Amino acid sequence: MTQAPAVHLHRPKVEYFNVDELTNVDPKGYVRQVEHYRDEPWGLYMARPSDHPEFHYIESWLLPSLSLRATVFHFTPADLRDQDYYIDIGEFTQVEPKRWKSVDHYLDLVVRTGREVELLDVDELLAAHAAGYLDLATAQQAIETATATIDGIAAHGHSFENWLAAQGITLSWR
């Protein structure tokens, strides 16, 4: 009998977005320079370079009313992935007029437009709940958000953009 790989147990990842300072403080506390922020009624857009070995640029939309963060990674040619959007489930709030906070709730979705939406990291969510990092209500909300998002995207031809448009949200990217 094969054993499942061990889950990397960690507290929820917290990130800050400082619009006036043009900075993004990542979950490890590193301050990253941001090229562009844009505030819209439905959320906050961020675009910045990245020093990650697999991608050189990142664009994200924080969508508080949907409890989503949608990201487009600009992968290096050697690390291309079959994905159009990477979606984090979590809590995304404007904590001050020009400062936002994200708290990741472990579940992620990979959108392959026109084909499918893949749910990731259910094991991390369950382990975090068991360890007391997320209460039951928050874990349940993460599951409900993920499943509603999967259903919504699927109902719109596996198009994240079409699902958002049906809700009056139009995202623009770099």
Residues in the chain with pLDDT values less than 70 = 1-5, 79
Q: Is residue 3 part of a domain?
A: no
Q: Is residue 20 part of a domain?
A: yes
Phi, psi of 108 (to 5 degrees): -135, 155
Nearest CA-CA partner of 40 in 15, 69, 61, 16 = 61
The reported pTM is 0.93
DSSP SS3 for 36: strand
Is residue 149 within 8 A of residue 158, CB to CB? The reply is: no
Q: Is residue 174 part of a domain?
A: no
What pLDDT is recorded for position 4?
59
Beta strands at 99-112 and 14-18: parallel, antiparallel or unpaired: antiparallel
CATH number for position 39: 2.40.380.10
Number of domains into which the chain is organized? 1
Bridge partners, 103 (sequence order): 14, 91
Q: Is residue 9 part of a domain?
A: no
